[in-house]
Amino acid sequence: MRLPCLLQPGILKEAIKAIFKGPYTTKFPFKPHEPFERFRGKPEFHAEDCIGCGACFQVCPAKAIEMKDIGNKRILTVHWDLCIFCGNCQANCLTEKGIVLSKEFDLATTEKREDLYQSIEKELIQCSFCKENIAPSAQLAWVAKKLGTMVFSNTSLMLFYLAEENLTEIKGLPDKETPTLRSDRFRILCPKCRREAVLKS
Ligand code: SF4
Ligand code: SF4
What's the pLDDT tens digit per position in 139-148?
Answer: 999 999 999 9
Tell me the mean pLDDT in the region 145-163.
91
The model carries a pTM of 0.83
Q: How much is the average pLDDT of 78-101?
A: 97
Q: Is the pLDDT assigned to residue 1 strictly greater than 70?
A: no
Among positive and negative, which fits the CA dihedral 17, 19, 21, 24? positive
Rounded-to-integer distance, Cα 177 and Cα 173, Å: 9
Q: Are 200 and 178 contacting, i.e. CB atoms less than 8 angstroms apart?
A: yes
Helix, strand, coil in percent for the chain, rounding step 5: 35, 15, 50
Q: Is the pLDDT of residue 95 over 90?
A: yes
Please give the distance, rounded to the nearest whole angstrom, from the Cα atom of residue 119 to the centre of ligand 1.
14
CA distances from 60 to 45, 75, 116, 136, 176 (A): 14, 16, 17, 20, 41
At residue 176, the pLDDT reads: 79
User: Average of pLDDT values for 59-65?
Assistant: 98
Amino acid identity, residue 98? G
Separation between Cα atoms, residue 89 and residue 45, nearest integer Å: 10
The response to whether residue 116 sits with its C-beta less than 6 Å from ligand 1 reads no
pLDDT tens-digit map of 121-130? 999 999 999 9
Most confident of 51-60, 122-131, 153-162: 51-60
Q: Is 11 in the pocket of ligand 1 (CB under 6 A)?
A: no
Which residue from 84, 104, 105, 120 has its CB within 8 A of the most atoms of ligand 1, so it is best to mutate?
Answer: 84
Q: Kindly report the CATH class assigned to 37-125.
A: alpha beta
**Which residue ranges does the chain devote to CATH 3.30.70.3270?**
37-125
Ligand nearest to the CA of 45: 2
Check pLDDT > 70 for residue 3: no
